[in-house]
């Protein structure tokens, strides 16, 4: 047995753990010995410092050395026995419920010096310790740090301690997997030393290197997998795409703006990938409204011109429709574009499928249903996935497999996450970032309003409409139930209709495709001024004339989601506004979210704050990203360690270091299977 394999043995192989106890552990996700070691103490009772009576702090566990002075044993039921003690600075009473006199006299002999430890109380002008558990005439036997674990219900602290103490004794010495340089950074502390120290610290206040070393291990285990994946992808050789950039100039004339420098750079990077014989696996990141669509479409044209088909996948039908309209403008008349969604009728679907396999469709725009269907392309050369966070790694991989080796993959994300997160979640991809938005964009002025002041909001809406602006009105997400959400949208629609008549439209997920499209077109053509909707408008849709968004019950939404919703306005050049409405009794967190939005339009900052408030794991469904969540590492707090890991990975890649020595690390952190799973 390799030494690390011992660590992976089932928890029930530990002596003293029977089936019943093992079950309790497993309930807490502690399945192996390694899991048990991971479960670091949540707290410590530090009995190392001796204090004097006049330094005692009520409520804290403290240790002090005292003289035993006087017993008081009342012979009345229910009254506790007391022992008065003192040191040179004051008095303290030890209180015993349900203890025999003989026992008390034995542990606290009168007129001796004794060390006691316990939680300090204060009663009738006197310090006291009730039922002190740690009493000894030898002060050294008490002066210890006592680790506290979050215990599984039904498991006594004493038993847990016995188990963990036994296990700690048996930890094997593992061969070091880190390079000398890295190790030196952590003061040459091994994995084992870190674990031992963190479970039984010599000094509670100095976790420093020990914890950092474990965090770094965890980050590396993820990054190594990403790196291996990336290397495997790079090894896939494809046919280069050959296209002429003269089409690019043609397209430039078809759009009424100049591409930003960031857009041009992203295009250069994508083109270089397309033209190379390595398969592209690239992430295009840019905040909402930064202009990713046009980059995707120009890339599509290049691929079509080189004789391949393109699949573009978006999260909603509405968005598919909108991109379809833009694509029609940009592609040549001779090139065929189709839309396929879950709502596409059977007959139409059949035609599309046969056209695809016969190379009669050049660009297919669709929703998730592109995955589910047995859809075959004649020659798929590029798969583009918009708003990827709704897709997991495995789904990304599935799509790229569809086109075989010649299919390049471009994933677009409007979730501006910190670099440490990109490295973690998209570490298997190359990245292009659109940092700056098109010039002339204004900050979206953001206000909050309590819902009782809806009349003020309505006057503001009136003013906007008078100036020929358009308004999104997002209805409350009352409950998880979609049905109720729709109802609330309908109610709001009806009340607004009384004020604004035919200028109001309603959009919700239950409407059929035709009705939806009709309303969207009406809004686009400015036949209606207010679009009341549930969150179906959340992603990607572009209405340059809309400059006000009202979000009811804003407190029910997450920070990043609010930022995305807000991004639906402010795409034109006029002043844009967002009004966050809330009900009274806002929670502290909701208050914080609203404040952050009011203060910033910067998606990166917002997502970072979102992570601080909610924890990175919850961020927009990244849980399903296929990578296991970290237990210790935090992409915000441990940025420096992430950056260091990134550097180390580059070194490993450059020196083509053999990964074998990292195998124990990957096995321990349960990452090794991901490799087999994905490639």
Phi-psi sector, 666: left (phi>0), alpha (psi -120 to 50), beta: alpha
Contact 553, 478 (CB under 8 A): yes
Which residues lie closer than 8 Å to 246 by C-beta, 6 or more apart? none
Q: How far is the CB of 477 from Mg ion (least distance, A)?
A: 22
Query: Which of 350, 402, 396, 400 is closest to 376 using CA atoms?
Result: 402
CB-wise, 114 or 259, nearer to ligand ADP? 259
Tokens found for residue 308: 């391949």
Among ligand ADP, Mg ion, none, the one that 508 touches (CB under a kind-dependent 5 to 8 A) is none
Among ligand ADP, Mg ion, none, the one that 425 touches (CB under a kind-dependent 5 to 8 A) is none
CB-wise, 291 or 427, nearer to ligand ADP? 291
H or E segment to which residue 303 belongs: helix 292-305
Among ligand ADP, Mg ion, none, the one that 288 touches (CB under a kind-dependent 5 to 8 A) is ligand ADP
- The window from 466-474, 517-525, 535-543, 624-632 that contacts Mg ion (CB under 5 A) reads 535-543
Among ligand ADP, Mg ion, none, the one that 291 touches (CB under a kind-dependent 5 to 8 A) is ligand ADP
Closest-approach residue to Mg ion (CB): 540
Q: How many CB atoms sit inside 10 A of residue 379's CB?
A: 13
CB-wise, 45 or 564, nearer to Mg ion? 564
Among Mg ion, ligand ADP, none, the one that 294 touches (CB under a kind-dependent 5 to 8 A) is ligand ADP
Among Mg ion, ligand ADP, none, the one that 212 touches (CB under a kind-dependent 5 to 8 A) is none
CB-wise, 520 or 581, nearer to ligand ADP? 520
Query: Which of 282, 265, 303 is closest to 410 using CA atoms?
Result: 282
CB-wise, 289 or 418, nearer to ligand ADP? 289
Among ligand ADP, Mg ion, none, the one that 338 touches (CB under a kind-dependent 5 to 8 A) is none
Q: How far is the CB of 327 from ligand ADP (least distance, A)?
A: 12
CB-wise, 433 or 674, nearer to ligand ADP? 433
CB-wise, 48 or 545, nearer to ligand ADP? 545
Tokens found for residue 114: 């004794």
Q: How many CB atoms sit inside 10 A of residue 229's CB?
A: 20
Does 315 help bind Mg ion (rule: CB under 5 A)? no
Distances, alpha carbon 183 to alpha carbons 172, 179, 214, 437, 668, in Å: 19, 6, 12, 42, 19
Q: Compute the distance between CA of residue 175 and CA of residue 127 in angstroms, rounded to an integer.
A: 52
Among Mg ion, ligand ADP, none, the one that 298 touches (CB under a kind-dependent 5 to 8 A) is none
**Size of site (CB under 5 A) for Mg ion:** 1
Contact 425, 622 (CB under 8 A): yes
Does 635 help bind Mg ion (rule: CB under 5 A)? no
Distances, alpha carbon 53 to alpha carbons 66, 134, 239, 394, 647, in Å: 9, 17, 81, 62, 53
CB-wise, 21 or 260, nearer to ligand ADP? 260
Among Mg ion, ligand ADP, none, the one that 542 touches (CB under a kind-dependent 5 to 8 A) is ligand ADP
CB-wise, 172 or 544, nearer to ligand ADP? 544
CB-wise, 132 or 567, nearer to ligand ADP? 567
DSSP code at position 93 = E
Q: How far is the CB of 151 from Mg ion (least distance, A)?
A: 48
Which residues lie closer than 8 Å to 337 by C-beta, 6 or more apart? 324, 327, 328, 331, 361, 362, 363, 364, 365
CB-wise, 257 or 378, nearer to ligand ADP? 257
CB-wise, 476 or 540, nearer to ligand ADP? 540
- The window from 20-28, 116-124, 139-147, 540-548 that contacts Mg ion (CB under 5 A) reads 540-548
Q: How many CB atoms sit inside 10 A of residue 476's CB?
A: 24
Q: How far is the CB of 540 from Mg ion (least distance, A)?
A: 4
Among Mg ion, ligand ADP, none, the one that 39 touches (CB under a kind-dependent 5 to 8 A) is none
- Buried residues in 200-211 as b, exposed as e (16+ CB within 10 A): bbeeeeeeebbb
Q: What's 41-63 look like in SS3?
A: CCEEEECCCECCHHHCCCCCEEE
Q: How far is the CB of 316 from Mg ion (least distance, A)?
A: 11
Query: Which of 401, 407, 431 is closest to 270 using CA atoms?
Result: 431
In residues, how long is the chain? 679
Among ligand ADP, Mg ion, none, the one that 438 touches (CB under a kind-dependent 5 to 8 A) is ligand ADP
Among Mg ion, ligand ADP, none, the one that 403 touches (CB under a kind-dependent 5 to 8 A) is none
CB-wise, 261 or 398, nearer to ligand ADP? 261
Q: How far is the CB of 571 from ligand ADP (least distance, A)?
A: 5
Does 540 help bind Mg ion (rule: CB under 5 A)? yes
Binding site for ligand ADP (CB under 6 A): 257-260, 263, 286, 288-294, 414, 438, 540, 542, 544, 571
Among ligand ADP, Mg ion, none, the one that 544 touches (CB under a kind-dependent 5 to 8 A) is ligand ADP
- Buried residues in 348-373 as b, exposed as e (16+ CB within 10 A): ebeebbeebeeeebbbbbbbbbbeee
Contact 490, 534 (CB under 8 A): no
Q: How far is the CB of 257 from ligand ADP (least distance, A)?
A: 3
- The window from 206-214, 352-360, 532-540, 559-567 that contacts Mg ion (CB under 5 A) reads 532-540
Phi-psi sector, 111: left (phi>0), alpha (psi -120 to 50), beta: left
Among Mg ion, ligand ADP, none, the one that 290 touches (CB under a kind-dependent 5 to 8 A) is ligand ADP
Q: What is the largest CA-CA distance in the chain?
A: 104
Which residues lie closer than 8 Å to 243 by C-beta, 6 or more apart? 274, 275, 302, 303, 305, 306
Q: How far is the CB of 441 from ligand ADP (least distance, A)?
A: 8
Closest-approach residue to ligand ADP (CB): 291
Which residues lie closer than 8 Å to 625 by C-beta, 6 or more apart? 389, 392, 393, 425
Q: How far is the CB of 329 from ligand ADP (least distance, A)?
A: 10
Q: How far is the CB of 177 from ligand ADP (least distance, A)?
A: 41
DSSP code at position 374 = -
Q: How far is the CB of 311 from ligand ADP (least distance, A)?
A: 17
Among ligand ADP, Mg ion, none, the one that 259 touches (CB under a kind-dependent 5 to 8 A) is ligand ADP
CB-wise, 1 or 439, nearer to ligand ADP? 439
| Cross-strand pairs, 282 | 410, 430
Q: How many CB atoms sit inside 10 A of residue 91's CB?
A: 16
Q: How far is the CB of 495 from Mg ion (least distance, A)?
A: 32
Phi-psi sector, 63: left (phi>0), alpha (psi -120 to 50), beta: beta
Tokens found for residue 613: 């408030």
CB-wise, 263 or 432, nearer to ligand ADP? 263
SS3 68: strand
Q: How far is the CB of 626 from ligand ADP (least distance, A)?
A: 24
- φ/ψ (deg, to 5) at 428: -85, 0
Summarize as ranges the residues that interact with Mg ion (CB under 5 A): 540
């Amino acid at each position: 047995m390799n030494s690390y394999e011992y660590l992976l043995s089932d928890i029930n192989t530990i002596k003293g753990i029977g089936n019943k106890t093992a079950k309790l552990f497993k309930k807490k996700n502690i399945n192996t010995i390694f899991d048990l070691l991971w479960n670091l103490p949540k707290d410590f009772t530090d009995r190392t410092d001796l204090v004097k009576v006049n330094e005692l702090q009520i409520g804290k566990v403290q240790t002090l050395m005292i003289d035993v002075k006087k017993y008081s044993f009342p012979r009345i039921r229910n009254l506790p026995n007391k022992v008065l003690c003192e040191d040179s600075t004051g008095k303290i009473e030890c209180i015993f419920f349900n203890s025999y006199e003989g026992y008390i006299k034995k542990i606290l002999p009168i007129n001796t010096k004794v060390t006691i430890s316990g939680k300090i109380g204060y009663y009738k002008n006197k310090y006291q310790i009730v039922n002190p558990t740690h009493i000894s005439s030898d002060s050294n036997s008490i002066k210890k740090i006592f680790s506290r674990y979050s215990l599984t219900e039904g498991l006594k602290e004493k038993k847990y301690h016995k188990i963990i103490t036994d296990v700690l004794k048996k930890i094997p010495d593992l061969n070091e997997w880190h390079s000398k340089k890295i190790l030196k950074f952590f003061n040459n502390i091994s994995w084992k030393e870190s674990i031992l120290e963190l479970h039984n610290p010599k000094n509670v206040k100095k976790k420093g290197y020990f914890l950092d070393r474990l965090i770094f291990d965890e980050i590396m285990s993820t990054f190594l997998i990403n790196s291996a994946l990336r290397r495997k992808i790079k090894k896939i050789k494809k046919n280069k795409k050959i296209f002429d950039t003269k089409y690019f100039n043609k397209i430039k004339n078809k759009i009424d703006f100049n591409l930003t420098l960031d857009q041009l750079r992203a295009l250069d990077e994508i083109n270089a990938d397309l033209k190379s014989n390595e398969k592209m696996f690239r992430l295009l990141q840019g905040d909402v409204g930064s202009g990713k669509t046009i980059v995707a479409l120009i890339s599509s044209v290049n691929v079509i011109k080189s004789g391949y088909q393109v699949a573009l996948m978006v999260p909603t039908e509405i968005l598919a429709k909108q991109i379809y309209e833009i694509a029609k403008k940009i592609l040549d008349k001779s090139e065929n574009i189709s839309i396929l969604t879950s709502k596409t009728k059977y007959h139409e679907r059949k035609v599309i499928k046969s056209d695809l396999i016969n190379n009669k469709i050049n660009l297919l725009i669709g929703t998730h249903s592109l995955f589910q269907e047995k859809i075959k392309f004649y020659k798929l050369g590029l798969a583009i996935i918009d708003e990827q966070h709704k897709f997991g790694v495995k789904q990304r991989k599935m799509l790229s497999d569809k086109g075989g080796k010649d299919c390049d993959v471009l994933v677009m994300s409007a979730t501006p996450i910190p670099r440490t997160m990109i490295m973690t979640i998209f570490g298997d991809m190359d990245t292009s970032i659109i940092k700056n938005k098109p010039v002339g964009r204004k900050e979206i002025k953001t206000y909050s309003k309590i819902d009782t002041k809806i009349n003020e909001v309505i006057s503001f809406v009136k003013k906007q409409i008078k100036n020929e602006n358009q308004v999104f009105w997002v209805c409350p997400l009352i409950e998880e139930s979609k049905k109720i959400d729709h109802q609330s949208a309908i109610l709001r629609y009806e009340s607004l209709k009384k004020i604004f008549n035919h200028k109001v439209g309603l959009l919700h997920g239950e409407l059929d495709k035709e009705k939806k499209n009709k309303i969207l077109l009406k809004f686009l053509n400015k036949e209606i001024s207010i679009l009341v909707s549930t969150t179906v408008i959340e992603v990607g849709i572009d209405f340059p004339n809309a400059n006000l968004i009202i979000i009811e019950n804003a407190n029910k939404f997450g920070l990043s989601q609010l930022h995305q919703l807000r991004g639906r306005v402010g795409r034109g050049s006029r002043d844009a506004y967002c009004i966050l409405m809330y009900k009274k009794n806002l929670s502290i967190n909701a208050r914080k979210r609203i404040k952050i939005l009011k203060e910033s339009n910067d998606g990166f900052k917002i997502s970072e704050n979102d992570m601080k408030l909610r924890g990175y794991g919850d961020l927009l469904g990244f849980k399903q990203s296929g990578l296991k969540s970290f237990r210790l590492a935090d992409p915000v707090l441990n940025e420096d360690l992430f950056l260091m890991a990134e550097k180390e990975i580059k070194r490993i890649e450059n020196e083509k270091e053999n990964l074998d020595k990292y195998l124990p690390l990957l096995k321990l952190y349960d990452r090794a299977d991901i490799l087999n799973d994905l490639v």
